[in-house]
Structure 1
């Protein structure tokens, strides 16, 4: 299993409606994507949109990104975006809570139970010819990510009212200004909040405290501490975590 986070920063609020439409469309596509374990999307403000996806295997994500719907969405959002950032994260065994009743040590069982889907949401990418599958697997083997000395706590917290959202933001705000924090976001989604807090790896105690607070204050929350990899695209307010972590530059920036 691995996680992917994305951030899309819009040029202007006037593009927010178009982005929300694209955001809803991609949620529908993700719901029917083979190998996609869980996903959430969140809005930090009317110019800042985030996604979190949990994947079973590299090839599942590759097929999703190759889909016609996903390519069209990425092409359209280029017209609205000021910047884009994406990062891949490796899991740890530091996990609290459940996500819709699931923990992700159960990933193989989740995949086996997910029905095969070939409708318009996935646009035939699950039907890649058998002759191409070894090629895709070879690509993923040759490009395994390196781990960086950066980690994060990524979480999903059910929030079905504005008061719950406000309480979540108020409770977690202390980490926004903590000296060790590299980036912090609490985003509002559909009946839930998405949390993303990034530190250097030496701030492990900060992550441990945050996990305990989540567990005690929001018992229905799910969260996991993740390790960053050098599979990073773009930047987050001109910050590139692989540069902080001392990773060699890759072709995609």
Structure 2
């Protein structure tokens, strides 16, 4: 199984409406994506949003991110975010990892993504521990 974790911090409230719309669209897209097994969305403090997804393979995840609403969102995030990072790993377990593991892996193995307006903390990946109590499950669409 392939695990993908992203962390995005939106740099201004003025980008939140468009980001929220694209989040709804990408959520619908991922639920129907081939190879998607489970996921979670974690809205955190200071306009920060995490995603945690479990896939059959890295190829399935790449097919998802290079199509549809996700492909539309990607270039906008460089401008909208002042912090962004990603981490991936393979695991034998078919269970979605805990958010505590996602955070630990992001800190130990993650890498910053390109943003046009980085904060001082962006490259150092120096962020506060996420507030884990607000996560929402994302499940595959039964019709997919």
**Which of 122, 131, 143 pairs up with 1:237?**
122
1:229 deviation in Å? 5.5
Asked which structure has the greater CA Rg, the reply is 1
Contact 1:90–1:229 under 8 Å retained in 2: no
Residues 101-180 of structure 1 aligned to structure 2 (within 5 Å): 104=94, 154-155=97-98
CA separation of 1:77 and 1:234: change in aligned 2, threshold 3 A? closer
1:60 deviation in Å? 0.7
1:68 deviation in Å? 3.7
Tell me the residue number matched to 2:33: 33
SS in structure 1 opposite 2:23? helix
Contact 2:35–2:60 under 8 Å retained in 1: yes
What stretches of structure 1 of length at least 5 have no aligned partner? 94-103, 106-152, 157-183, 185-194, 200-227, 241-253
In structure 2, C-alpha distance between the alignment counterparts of 1:79 and 1:237, rounded to whole Å: 14
In structure 2, C-alpha distance between the alignment counterparts of 1:50 and 1:26, rounded to whole Å: 13
Tell me the residue number matched to 2:57: 57
Tell me the residue number matched to 2:104: 198
1:92 deviation in Å? 5.8
Larger RCO (alpha carbons 8 Å, 6+ apart): 2
Tell me the residue number matched to 1:6: 6
CA separation of 1:46 and 1:229: change in aligned 2, threshold 3 A? closer
Pairwise CA RMSD: 3.1
TM-score (ref. length: structure 1): 0.40
If each structure's helix is expressed as a fraction of its own residues, which one has the higher value?
2
If each structure's strand is expressed as a fraction of its own residues, which one has the higher value?
1
TM-score (ref. length: structure 2): 0.67
In structure 1, C-alpha distance between the alignment counterparts of 2:56 and 2:109, rounded to whole Å: 16
SS in structure 1 opposite 2:104? strand
What stretches of structure 2 of length at least 5 have no aligned partner? 115-120, 126-144
CA separation of 1:69 and 1:27: change in aligned 2, threshold 3 A? same
Aligned residues between the structures: 119
CA separation of 1:92 and 1:63: change in aligned 2, threshold 3 A? closer
Task: Extract structure 1 runs of 4+ deviating beyond 4 A.
Answer: none
